[in-house]
Amino acid sequence: MLDRQMISRVIAEALRRGGDFAEIYVEEKSLTGIVCEDNQIEKVNSGRESGAGVRVVSAGNTAYAYTNDLSEEGLLKTAGIVAHAAAGAARDIELDLKEVRSGLTLPFLKVPDQFPFEDKVEALLKANEAAREAGPDIKQVTVSLADVHKQFQVANSLGEIVEDEVVRTRFVINAVASRENVIQTGFEAVGGVVGWEILDEIKVEDLARQAARRAVMMLDAKPAPAGRMTVVMSSEAGGTMVHEACGHGLEADLVQKGLSVYSGKVGQQVAASEVSVIDDSSLPKKNGTFRFDDEGTPGRKNVLIEKGVLKGYMHDRLTAQKEGVEPTGNGRRESYQHKPIPRMTNTYIAPGESDPEAIIRETAHGILVKKMGGGQVNTTTGDFVFDVQEGYIIKNGEVLYPVRGATLTGNGPKVLRNIDMVGNDLGFAIGTCGKDGQGVPVADAQPTIRIKSMTVGGTGFEDGPEIKRIRRF
């Protein structure tokens, strides 16, 4: 990592022509990726990347530049570019950088270097075989793994410096099943801010079988109905709903620009009183876990919604300063190539009181979501959608048959008020969240919850109660 004296000189250069705040973020990482497809190890990748980004903030406006050239000359040149864009009185500063502490420890037991290539290849081949055990309907299996070992420094004109390392691992299985003219897929992923000891806790063969089972089962699924109905989301389904329905809308940059339905609602009831929403980067080993965010603020637990009442937003330094609050440790960036912005980390709806099975039993007619896919939200209107990977029809409290091709759409604040049962369980899923062209790893979770009524988008008009309505036209 870079010499601290040199870092001080780069920050001073960035502020030479003015500006309120300057920062340098330096990253050195080594990455590995291996893909097994068509029953063979098809692709390998192992790379090294290093770079630094420098920013200057003046009167709330940001100038950002980055380079792969980590020599003092290269960094001063980069600082000079941002200095050029800064406004205000010229400053000549000298910094004595002090290390910021975090109360969290992240033990990485088996870092990528300690998990040999041979063992990685073996794990991939095992998973591939296990998935193919599901039978002749399985036509293709893609298994991949990736790890990153990153060292980073972030230092700023307030005299703060953080130096830390992060290990991130991921194992993903995609199975494709087909019969006659129908093709369906199944997907499972595991990963987080954890070393390869993650594979001591989770058997990749089990994951692979699960992905394959879902692909095969979906071959026989009926088309999902379309229309409004009760939705039960199982805790296994992951937290895409909370991520889209309220997570993004609670990111302070969108709130401050007036682009969130949750703007100006702190202290107000925005969800049913059963609902509490938390973002917590300090949970161990999750996909959105860290000791420090990418601005050097220590990670922590933030209660966003408590018993239905909006408590606060997720901030980076810039939005926190604008609002006159403490940064919440949500300033994240994809890499040295991006400026930090407010982002989620590990976001979840807190578990409630109900027995998950009772929630299903007490549902007369609806859809049970057992696995969610991706989603998207328009934070301004609050409208969101997400994809159902594994869904079932519930009738009179019983889970009947699987359905495919369903998407759920709703409006964030409306859906949150419409949650009428919250289970006492909690299930996590991992994902990569995209915003402003930056992808960052996140985890999200929900207990089993019931939403009284939501729009299900499927193609099965013959199947639902809506058929009457269609005939009226």
Partner 1 sequence: MRDRLLDAGRWAVEQARGNGVEAEAFVLHSEDLTIEVREGQVDTLKQAEEIGLGIRVFQGNRLGFSFTTDLSREALGETIRRAVESARYTADDKNNGLPEVVDGYRRMVTYDEEIERTTLEAKVEMAKQIEVVSKQEDKRIKIVESSGYEESRYSVAVVNSRGVEAFQKASYCGLYISLMAEENGEVQTGFAVEAKRHISELDPARVGREGARNAVRILGAKSAPSRPLPCILEPYVMTSFLGVLAGSFSADSVQKGKSTFKGKLGQAIASPQVTLVDDGTYEKGISSFPFDGEGWPSQRTVLVEAGTLKGFMYDAYTARKDNTVSTGNGMRSSFRGLPSVGTTNLFLTPGLSPPEKLWEDLERGMYITEVMGMHTANPISGDFSLGASGIIIEKGKLTYPVRGVTIAGNLFDFLKDIEGLGSDLRFFGGTGSPSVRVKRLSIGGE
Q: Determine the Cα–Cα distance for residues 358 and 397; give it in Å rounded to an integer.
A: 9
Please say whether the beta carbons of 362 and 388 come within 8 A: no
**Of 112, 191, 227, 423, the one binding partner 1 by CB under 8 A:** 227
Q: Does position 259 bind partner 1 by CB under 8 A?
A: yes
Interface with partner 1, residue 38, by CB under 8 A: yes
Strand 98-99 relative to strand 160-179, pairing: parallel
Pairing of strands 98-99, 346-349: unpaired
Contact indicator for 81, 9 with CB cutoff of 8 Å: no
- Strand 222-223 to 98-99 pairing: unpaired
Beta pairing class for 346-349 and 277-280: antiparallel
Q: How far is the CB of 398 from partner 1 (least distance, A)?
A: 24
Closest approach of partner 1 to the CB of residue 67, in Å = 5
Residue 458 sits in the site that holds partner 1 (CB under 8 A): yes
Question: Closest separation between CB of residue 96 and partner 1, Å?
Answer: 29
Written as one letter, the residue type at 260 is S
Give the shortest CB-280-to-partner 1 separation in angstroms.
26
Q: Which is nearer to partner 1, 70 or 271 (CB)?
A: 70
Closest distance of CB 48 from partner 1, Å: 5
Does 320 contact partner 1 by CB under 8 A?
Answer: no
Q: Which of 197, 373, 397, 425 binds partner 1 (CB under 8 A)?
A: 373
267 or 434: whose CB is closer to partner 1?
434
Under rule CB under 8 A, residue 269 binds partner 1: no
Residue 295 half-sphere exposure toward CB, CA atoms < 13 A: 24
- Does 118 contact partner 1 by CB under 8 A? yes
Report the candidate in 215, 131, 134, 217 with the shortest Cα–Cα distance to residue 171: 131
Segment interacting with partner 1 (CB under 8 A) among 79-87, 100-108, 325-333, 348-356: 79-87
Neighbours of 111 (CB within 10 A): 15
Q: Please list every residue from 402 through 441 that binds partner 1, using CB under 8 A.
A: 404-407, 409-411
Min dist CB 448 to partner 1, Å, is: 22
Q: Smallest distance, Å, CB 102 to partner 1?
A: 28
Q: H helices of 68-141, where?
A: 72-85, 117-132
Question: Which of 1, 6, 41, 76 is close enough to bind partner 1 by CB under 8 A?
Answer: 41
**What is the rounded distance in angstroms from the CA atom of residue 265 to the CA atom of residue 21?**
30
Packing angle between helix 204-219 and helix 117-132, nearest 10 degrees? 30
386 binds partner 1 (CB under 8 A): yes
What is the rounded distance in angstroms from the CA atom of residue 403 to the CA atom of residue 393?
Answer: 7
Residue 473 near partner 1 by CB under 8 A: yes
Closest CB 303 distance from partner 1, rounded Å: 27
67-75, 159-167, 343-351, 356-364 -> range binding partner 1 (CB under 8 A): 67-75
182: left (phi over 0), alpha (psi -120 to 50) or beta: beta
Q: Are strands 346-349 and 438-446 parallel, antiparallel or unpaired?
A: parallel
Cβ closest to partner 1, residue 356 vs residue 458: 458
Structure tokens at 187: 């997907």
Distance CA 51, CA 379 (A): 32
Q: Does residue 461 touch partner 1 according to CB under 8 A?
A: yes
- State which of positions 189-208 bind partner 1 (CB under 8 A): none
Q: Using CB under 8 A, which residues numbered 142 to 161 contact partner 1?
A: none
46 touching partner 1, by CB under 8 A: yes
- Applying CB under 8 A, what is the total number of residues that bind partner 1? 80
According to CB under 8 A, which one of 5, 88, 117, 273 is a site residue for partner 1?
117
468 makes contact with partner 1 (CB under 8 A): no
Strand partners, 230: 366
Name residues contacting partner 1, limited to 278-307 (CB under 8 A).
none
Task: Using CB under 8 A, pick the residue from 4, 9, 126, 228 that binds partner 1.
Answer: 228
CB atoms within 10 A of CB 65: 19
List helix spans (H) across 161-262: 198-201, 204-219, 240-242, 252-256
Quick one: which of 1, 6, 76, 81 contacts partner 1 (CB under 8 A)? 81
Using the rule CB under 8 A, is 268 a contact of partner 1? no
